[in-house]
Structure 1
Amino acid sequence: MTRINIEQLRTFLAVVRLGGVRRAASGLNLTQPAVTARIKNLEDSLACELFERRSGGMRLTKRGELLLAHAEKFEHLTELVERDVVDPQGIDGRLRLGVSETIAQCWLPELISRLHGLYPRLDIEFNVDISLNLRAGLLNREIDLAILLGPVSEYFVNNIELPGFDLAWYAAANTEPGLTEDKYLSRPVLTYARNTRPYRELKEMLFERVGPDVSMFPSSSLSACFRLVEADLGVAVLPRALGQEFVDTGRIREFDPGWVPSPLRFTASYLGEPRSHLIETAAKLALEVATEYQRDRNS
């Protein structure tokens, strides 16, 4: 009797989708020998070769193509069982989150707390990075759920739009009030990292409104930007949600040059295939937490 188990099929699908044993091992958090052994056992159980091993990589055989169609149907059925039957508190596994720093400093702790409450046996890994790197990690299947400046415009990526973040201009608390725009913006402008949409948009606006001689100091650390503003080493345009604490404690203050870049738009983005009830639930929970965070700030 042919015996096939769920883990063998999941491993088979990972090798196909990720393009080889090494990347499948990374995606499944296994060693390469473990992945190779699962594929070999699956081939032995089916008495056929599923892959052609070539110097350029692994390609599905005709029987491998047939198995792929059946494995995807089985995967979908397994997902329905997990969604409708399995108690969430009994689900274990790993969720790899990638988040922008703005999110990490605002409502990420609440999201992780709620995920742990819903899935107490779940291991949650999170990485804080710029959206460009998070997007690459998602597309390379190194991240399960990316909360980033979105959306990710690939047809196989699902994007859930999240509440945005208004931006505001900040200067040191001891800066003279009532300065003209050109006086404020003659200072270095501290803002998001160079390879980000907010940096690009701000650069274009400064060029149009002030001229090409404005000094911009990009940084991957928003908290460092606030500290440099506090030390009167420049001005900054940053999320009001993060700046409010500094303003309330009198360390910096807002100023209005008459314009401000558009709000930051974030999405909870994840791959549409393979479907995962766990990842979809985490994305919807991110929307719930983000909406509550914004409502509490506005109340």
Structure 2
Amino acid sequence: MKRIALFHLETLMWIDRLGTFAAAAQRLNTTQPAISARVREIEEQLGVPLFQREGRRMVLSARGRRLVQASEPLYHGLEQVLLEASDFAGATAAVRIGSGEIAAASCLPAFIQAIERDRPGVAMEIEIDLTAPLLQQLLAGTRDIVFLAGPVASPGMRTASIGSVELVWCAGAEVAQDGGFAKALPVWSLPDHSPLHAVTHETLEGHGIVPRALHTCNNVRTLIEIVASGQGAAVLPETMVHDRLAAGDLREVLPRPRHHVHFEAAIRTRERDPVILDLFARASELRIEMSAQTRA
């Protein structure tokens, strides 16, 4: 039998994780024909088929699963040894990071700065999305690390708390000067699967407020601009409106909710890639700081 190269095993692992040759080719920065050729080579060397097609997905055969399960810890163990020997100085990878918009504004810049400084060979592919799609992408293997609103729990995920963001009820300066909720206002919120939406309903009910209308928008920065332009009020993350509150173009129109939005970094429970584990350890050290008003 000819020797099986590490890239053969890596190819099998990514096809198993992502489900298609095309997805594995994209992840490994190669072509689908190259992936197919690698699979043919390893199957010819072993003398057994390793995959079977189920719809659009390529699923490992029983022997293929056994091979991947046995070789994956060996592959990542060798990779870990080599990286530790070089103090991770030569780490290279394309890491796909997903983040919610609030987490991205609150902690992602510091994370990116640290990776750029300490792991210059790591290329980051960042996508901003809502929490529900981020969870699906992580569990499907199309994202490596995600920053999302929590708490979240899944047997397929490992999480680390990175802090909480305070929320504030804001309106534009003119609306606030005109009495704020003393008059019926339209209220804006993120969609109903967002924790901000739940806080919005909870606060309105707690204060006996019936808004003129309840609108939704899936982009926090757009919500901020809508409210600042005098089109109503909204619950917004303090970290994203701190400067505009200080400048006076946004004003607080209700007491700050007691509920804060909690954030977590997450990876798959089965993750063994040493580069991703190293980045997750760094992400776990991030801390979103509360405002001075809350700390007081």
- Shorter-normalised TM range: 0.7 to 0.9
Q: Given the superposition, is the C-alpha separation of residues 271 and 79 from structure 1 closer, same or farther in structure 2, using an over 3 Å criterion?
A: farther
Once the two structures are superposed, the pairs formed by residues 192-231 of structure 1 within 5 Å of their partners are 192-207=190-205, 209-210=207-208, 215-231=213-229
Give the match for residue 102 of structure 2. Answer: 102
For residues 208-243 of structure 1, the C-alpha deviation after alignment (integer angstroms, 9 at most, x for no partner) is: 643666522222221222222221110111111111
Amino acid at match of 1:242: M
Give the match for residue 242 of structure 1. Answer: 240
* Worse-matched range after superposition: 40-49 or 202-211: 202-211
Q: Given the superposition, is the C-alpha separation of residues 150 and 37 from structure 1 closer, same or farther in structure 2, using an over 3 Å criterion?
A: farther
* Worse-matched range after superposition: 186-195 or 202-211: 202-211
Measure how far apart 1:6 and its partner are: 1.2
- SS of equivalent residue, structure 2 residue 170: strand
- Given the two structures, how large is their TM-score scaled by the length of structure 1? 0.86
Once the two structures are superposed, the pairs formed by residues 141-220 of structure 1 within 5 Å of their partners are 141-177=141-177, 179=179, 182-183=181-182, 186-207=184-205, 209-210=207-208, 215-220=213-218
- Is the contact between residue 202 and residue 261 of structure 1 (CA under 8 Å) also seen in structure 2? no
* Worse-matched range after superposition: 268-277 or 72-81: 72-81
Q: Give the percent of matched residue pairs that are identical in Structure 1 and Structure 2.
A: 25
| Counterpart-to-counterpart distance in 2, 1:25 and 1:102 | 32
Measure how far apart 1:285 and its partner are: 2.1
- Is the contact between residue 148 and residue 268 of structure 1 (CA under 8 Å) also seen in structure 2? yes
- SS of equivalent residue, structure 2 residue 267: strand
- SS of equivalent residue, structure 1 residue 163: strand
Measure how far apart 1:36 and its partner are: 1.0
- SS of equivalent residue, structure 1 residue 12: helix
- Is the contact between residue 13 and residue 71 of structure 1 (CA under 8 Å) also seen in structure 2? no
Q: How many residues align?
A: 295
- Is the contact between residue 163 and residue 287 of structure 2 (CA under 8 Å) also seen in structure 1? yes
Give the match for residue 252 of structure 2. Answer: 254
Give the match for residue 280 of structure 1. Answer: 277
| Counterpart-to-counterpart distance in 2, 1:290 and 1:164 | 8
Give the match for residue 233 of structure 1. Answer: 231
| Counterpart-to-counterpart distance in 1, 2:292 and 2:117 | 21
Measure how far apart 1:60 and its partner are: 3.5
Amino acid at match of 1:46: L
* Worse-matched range after superposition: 212-221 or 94-103: 212-221
Please report the RMSD computed on the Cα atoms of aligned residues, expressed in angstroms. 2.8
- Is the contact between residue 189 and residue 236 of structure 1 (CA under 8 Å) also seen in structure 2? yes
Measure how far apart 1:295 and its partner are: 8.6
Gaps of 5+ in 1: none
- Given the two structures, how large is their TM-score scaled by the length of structure 2? 0.87
Measure how far apart 1:99 and its partner are: 0.9
| Counterpart-to-counterpart distance in 2, 1:31 and 1:285 | 32
Amino acid at match of 2:182: K
Measure how far apart 1:196 and its partner are: 1.9
Q: Given the superposition, is the C-alpha separation of residues 135 and 57 from structure 1 closer, same or farther in structure 2, using an over 3 Å criterion?
A: closer
Measure how far apart 1:143 and its partner are: 0.8
Measure how far apart 1:68 and its partner are: 2.4
Q: Given the superposition, is the C-alpha separation of residues 177 and 138 from structure 1 closer, same or farther in structure 2, using an over 3 Å criterion?
A: same
- SS of equivalent residue, structure 2 residue 164: coil
Query: Is 2:267 the counterpart of 1:270?
Result: yes
Q: Given the superposition, is the C-alpha separation of residues 222 and 12 from structure 1 closer, same or farther in structure 2, using an over 3 Å criterion?
A: same
